[in-house]
């Protein structure tokens, strides 16, 4: 978790990394401070306690050395060498000492000559109790006394041990307290300097370590934020061989599981939306279909009903009139039958119930046959047909029966909308691996706003004209459904003096 992160809009002020670093640095600083305080108050006492031990050991050494002085005459110096160990110990521990006989005269010492009399006087004063006010007793036994004292001559404080040996001689061992205090002060200052360095170095090390330790947590935080935004591509990759790695692996598994679950939900939701849209579309189509069928059937049913009632009531007595009534009834019934058949065909195509029979055939031959079958209709419309019957065969792959229906619908539509020169031109072109079939007729153009609607069921540009030739507005819808079932294109274009419909099929050489 790094600085600058937010939780629900609230910025995180204290990251784990900073908190850990501050805790460890604070503990280090506290430890150094506590030790410095302890040293300041107790280091001198500790040194004194250690120095007391040194004084005791020096007393024992001098007691042993004093045995060699037993043969000495009272008040006379005996030339007995001081043991090297005693000299070394006295030098290392800054000890000065003196041994006196029972008369208080110095027998041997390790101080300068000018200090001998002062030490003799001090020892005599301690033994007689004259200098009682200048000392602070720390330890006392039957043989010696350990004390702190003030030397009036030098105004220095000493840690001293004085007492008697078993042979009656006396001794005094002293060490200046100023040296102890100076050593304690130097030690404290050194420790403070070292402590500052330790705090700085340990702070840097702790910061690096906490940054290393919290890096995977920061990574997990970033991953969780990406997951909250439904981005599951980022994975945990750090490897520290600890519990955080296990948490990261769980995050990865959770991310994958959430991604799969959300993907399934999205797929199911999309499918549901499609199903709902399809249902709405089907409902709209059903309503539109019922409205259109009702509208289309209303006129022929009314005509059939009216003329049938006329026949029943013998409105016309002559045979010619009755035959006319019967022809009207038959004609309207035929139109209704054709419309119902077209609706059934369109229904099969739109819902995929009518399977395609794909085969290779010559589209030129198909057009020739269609024109021959339409000869009577061509003559009735007084149409001029333009088609090159001598052109080479053009082979395509499709359902020949359904493509014949497409060509027939286009051609019949052209005949029904002829005008001006009354020309119907049928052409076949090769382009880009496709065969494009066009059917053009001279006449009025289709309004631009109606071009995209001509393929809709029951749509009629000119309803009066459509009713005149018996059209139902279903033929072009069937054409569109057939081409979509072939996954091919069809269209309509306004030309300079007419309208052209076209469709394409894949060439099959």
Average pLDDT over residues 409-432: 92
**pLDDT reading at 456 higher than 60:** yes
Per-residue pLDDT at 465: 44
**488: its two tokens:** 């091919």
**pLDDT reading at 288 higher than 70:** no
Residue 239 burial (10 A CB sphere; 0-12, 13-18, 19+): exposed
**Residue with structure tokens 């005693």?**
86
pLDDT tens-digit map of 293-345? 665 566 667 777 776 777 777 766 677 777 777 877 787 777 677 667 766 66
Spatial distance between the Cα atoms of 232 and 131, rounded to a whole number of angstroms? 90
Residues in Cβ contact with 495 at an 8 Å cutoff, skipping those fewer than 6 apart: 440, 445
Q: Please, are residues 436 and 428 in contact by the beta-carbon 8 Å criterion? A: yes
**pLDDT reading at 172 higher than 80:** yes
**pLDDT reading at 73 higher than 50:** no
Spatial distance between the Cα atoms of 376 and 380, rounded to a whole number of angstroms? 6
**pLDDT reading at 8 higher than 50:** no
Residues in Cβ contact with 275 at an 8 Å cutoff, skipping those fewer than 6 apart: none
Q: What is the pTM assigned to this prediction?
A: 0.42
pLDDT tens-digit map of 345-395? 666 666 666 778 899 999 999 999 999 988 988 998 899 999 998 899 999
Per-residue pLDDT at 49: 87
Per-residue pLDDT at 259: 77
Per-residue pLDDT at 466: 47
**Residue with structure tokens 């330890």?**
139
H helical segments located in 151-242: 177-228
pLDDT tens-digit map of 10-57? 455 556 667 777 777 778 778 777 877 777 777 778 888 888 999 999
**pLDDT reading at 3 higher than 50:** no
**38: its two tokens:** 């302890």
Average pLDDT over residues 441-462: 82
Residue 396 burial (10 A CB sphere; 0-12, 13-18, 19+): buried
Spatial distance between the Cα atoms of 346 and 470, rounded to a whole number of angstroms? 18
Around 337, how many Cα atoms within 13 Å sit in the side-chain half-sphere?
6
Torsion angles phi and psi, residue 129, rounded to 5: 85, 15
Torsion angles phi and psi, residue 122, rounded to 5: -65, -45
Around 266, how many Cα atoms within 13 Å sit in the side-chain half-sphere?
7
Torsion angles phi and psi, residue 407, rounded to 5: -60, -40
Average pLDDT over residues 262-286: 83
Say if strands 423-431 and 384-386 run parallel, antiparallel, or are unpaired. Answer: parallel
**pLDDT reading at 268 higher than 60:** yes
Most confident by average pLDDT, 177-186, 216-225, 421-430:
421-430
- Number of Cβ within a 10 Å radius of residue 452: 9
Spatial distance between the Cα atoms of 488 and 358, rounded to a whole number of angstroms? 13
Instruction: Round the average pLDDT of the chain to a whole number and report it.
Output: 79
- Number of Cβ within a 10 Å radius of residue 471: 20
135-140 β-sheet, strand order: 106-109, 96-100, 170-176, 156-164, 144-151, 135-140
Spatial distance between the Cα atoms of 124 and 258, rounded to a whole number of angstroms? 96
Q: Please, are residues 437 and 363 in contact by the beta-carbon 8 Å criterion? A: yes
CA distances from 278 to 195, 270, 284, 285, 300 (A): 79, 12, 10, 10, 33
More confidently predicted of 32 and 425: 425
Of 110, 115, 76, residue with least CA distance to 94? 110
pLDDT tens-digit map of 183-226? 777 777 777 788 788 878 877 887 787 777 777 777 777 777 77
pLDDT band at 462 (very low <50, low <70, confident <90, very high): low
Phi/psi zone of residue 112: left (φ > 0), alpha (ψ -120 to 50 degrees), beta?
beta
**341: its two tokens:** 């058949």
Per-residue pLDDT at 72: 46
**291: its two tokens:** 């409205």
Average pLDDT over residues 404-429: 92
Spatial distance between the Cα atoms of 158 and 143, rounded to a whole number of angstroms? 20
Per-residue pLDDT at 299: 65
- Number of Cβ within a 10 Å radius of residue 132: 10
Torsion angles phi and psi, residue 488, rounded to 5: -125, 170
More confidently predicted of 448 and 323: 448
Spatial distance between the Cα atoms of 174 and 51, rounded to a whole number of angstroms? 10
Q: Please, are residues 52 and 180 in contact by the beta-carbon 8 Å criterion? A: no
**pLDDT reading at 146 higher than 70:** yes
């Amino acid at each position: 978790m790094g600085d600058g992160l937010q939780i629900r809009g609230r910025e995180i002020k204290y990251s784990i990394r900073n908190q850990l670093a501050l805790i460890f640095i604070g503990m280090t600083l506290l430890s150094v401070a506590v030790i410095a305080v302890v040293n300041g108050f107790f280091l001198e006492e500790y040194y004194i306690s250690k120095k007391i031990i040194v004084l005791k050991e020096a007393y024992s050494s001098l007691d042993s050395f004093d045995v060699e002085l037993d043969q000495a005459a009272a008040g006379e110096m005996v030339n007995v060498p001081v043991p090297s160990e005693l000299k070394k110990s006295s030098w290392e521990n800054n000890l000065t000492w003196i041994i006196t006989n029972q008369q208080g005269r110095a027998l041997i010492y390790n101080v300068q000559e000018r200090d001998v009399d002062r030490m003799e006087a001090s020892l005599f004063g301690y033994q007689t109790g004259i200098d009682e006010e200048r000392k602070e007793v720390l330890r006392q036994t039957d043989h010696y006394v350990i004390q702190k004292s003030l030397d009036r001559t030098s105004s220095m404080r000493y840690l001293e041990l004085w007492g008697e040996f078993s042979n009656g001689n006396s001794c005094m061992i002293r060490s200046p307290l100023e040296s102890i205090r100076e050593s304690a002060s130097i030690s404290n200052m050194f420790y403070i300097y070292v402590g500052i360095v330790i705090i700085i170095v340990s702070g840097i090390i702790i910061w690096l370590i906490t940054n290393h330790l919290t890096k995977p947590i920061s990574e997990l935080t970033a991953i969780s934020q990406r997951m909250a935004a439904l981005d599951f591509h980022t994975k945990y990759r750090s490897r520290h061989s600890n519990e955080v790695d296990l948490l990261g692996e769980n995050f990865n598994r959770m991310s994958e599981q959430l991604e799969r679950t959300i993907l399934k939900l999205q797929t199911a939701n999309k499918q549901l939306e499609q199903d709902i849209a399809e249902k709405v579309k089907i409902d709209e189509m059903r309503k539109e279909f019922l409205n259109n069928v009702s509208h289309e059937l209303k006129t022929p049913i009314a005509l059939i009903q009216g003329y049938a009632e006329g026949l029943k009531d013998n409105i016309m007595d002559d045979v010619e009139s009755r035959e006319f009534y019967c022809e009207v009834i038959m004609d309207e019934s035929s139109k209704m039958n054709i419309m119902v058949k077209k609706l059934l065909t369109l229904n099969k195509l739109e819902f995929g119930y009518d399977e395609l029979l794909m085969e290779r055939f010559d589209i030129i031959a198909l057009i020739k046959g269609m024109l021959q079958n339409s000869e009577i209709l061509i003559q009735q419309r007084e149409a001029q047909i333009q088609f090159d019957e001598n052109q080479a065969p053009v082979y395509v792959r499709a359902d020949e029966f359904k493509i014949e229906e497409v060509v027939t619908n286009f051609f019949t539509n052209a005949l029904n909308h002829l005008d001006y020169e009354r020309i119907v031109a049928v052409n076949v072109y090769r382009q880009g691996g496709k065969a494009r079939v066009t059917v053009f007729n001279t006449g009025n153009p289709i309004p631009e706003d109606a071009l995209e609607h001509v393929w809709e069921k029951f749509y009629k540009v000119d309803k009066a004209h459509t009713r005149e030739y018996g059209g139902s507005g279903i033929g072009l819808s069937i054409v569109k459904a057939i081409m979509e079932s072939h996954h091919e294109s069809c269209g309509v274009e306004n030309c300079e003096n007419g309208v052209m419909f076209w469709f394409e099929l894949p060439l099959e050489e």
